[in-house]
């Protein structure tokens, strides 16, 4: 593929990033790029971004949008007219400039923090000395030993006996989350968030945000953490503010 054709292909690649683009045609374009050895700097940069992100085309789209934004700022700073801005954007798409390559490389290496880094496993209930243990203490032994399947079964039994017990509901949710049973976790965390007097209220409100994110309910998860960040009484408000940076 000569340089001119690579420029045309790069332009087609950028078109394929749009949401309404034919998904099958997008796959074909990405496969063609994956199996090629481009020399055009912008195309090389695009391929590097895709390779670094498991060929997720949405990441490349974000990178290009940010490149456009930077060009807008450069144009505004230098007081260029609309024609000049249009030319700069055209250059960013069609001309193999080092600026585009450099920005794409930086974007591939510097990723947004993952929301998972803010999640920590609940410490569980305290265990007391004694030969005779309560159901909750037996549950905590399994939980702390990371025997989650057995812990979940026991939590189901406890919840069947005490369906209104906040402790039973909360740990059923926590263990469900650990087992990636996010629908169960969501339902139980919501029950606790409706009881502001509950000892588990703030923990449930916070963990519900992660659960919504895992269920890919992005807007609801963002709103959840946004609400927490504004609540001065919530001990997780500062963490929630940091977590909001993980969202696009």
Q: What is the pLDDT of residues 193-221, one digit of tens each?
A: 999 999 999 999 999 999 999 999 999 99
- Please tell me which residue, 166 or 92, carries the higher pLDDT value: 166
Look at the block and give the residue holding tokens 């001309």: 95
pTM of the predicted model as reported, rounded to 2 decimal places:
0.57
> Is 225 in contact with 191 (CB distance < 8 Å)?
no
Res. 119 pLDDT band, cuts 50 70 90: very high
| The token pair that represents 179 in the structure block | 């087992």
What is the fold, at CATH topology level, of the domain defined by 116-246? Answer: 1.25.40
pLDDT surpasses 60 at 26: yes
pLDDT surpasses 80 at 76: no
- Arithmetic mean of pLDDT, 32-41: 84
Q: What is the pLDDT of residues 184-199, one digit of tens each?
A: 999 999 999 999 999 9
SS3 content of the chain, % helix, strand, coil (to 5): 70, 0, 30
Tell me what pLDDT residue 66 has. 61
Domain extents in the chain: 3-111, 116-246
Res. 44 pLDDT band, cuts 50 70 90: confident
């Amino acid at each position: 593929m000569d340089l001119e054709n690579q420029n045309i292909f790069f332009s087609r690649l950028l078109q394929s990033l749009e949401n309404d683009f034919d998904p099958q045609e997008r796959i074909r374009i990405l496969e063609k790029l994956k199996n090629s050895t481009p020399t055009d700097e912008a195309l090389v940069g695009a391929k590097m971004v895709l390779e670094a992100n498991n060929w997720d085309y949405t990441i490349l789209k974000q990178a290009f949008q940010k490149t456009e934004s930077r060009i807008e700022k450069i144009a505004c700073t230098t007081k260029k007219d609309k024609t000049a801005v249009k030319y700069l954007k055209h250059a960013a798409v069609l001309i193999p400039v080092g600026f585009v390559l450099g920005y794409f490389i930086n974007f591939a290496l510097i990723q947004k923090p993952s929301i998972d880094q803010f999640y920590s496993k609940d410490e569980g209930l305290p265990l007391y000395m004694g030969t005779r243990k309560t159901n909750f203490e037996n549950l905590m032994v399994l939980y702390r030993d990371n025997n989650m399947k057995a812990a979940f079964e026991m939590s189901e039994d406890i919840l069947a006996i005490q369906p209104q017990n906040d402790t039973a509901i909360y740990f059923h949710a926590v263990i469900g989350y650990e087992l990636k049973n996010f629908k169960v976790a969501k339902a139980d965390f919501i029950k606790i968030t409706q009881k502001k007097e509950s000892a588990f209220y703030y923990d449930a409100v916070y963990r519900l945000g992660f659960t919504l994110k895992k269920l890919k309910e992005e807007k609801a998860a963002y709103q959840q953490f946004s609400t927490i960040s504004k609540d001065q009484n919530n001990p997780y408000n500062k963490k929630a503010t940091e977590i909001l940076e993980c969202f696009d």
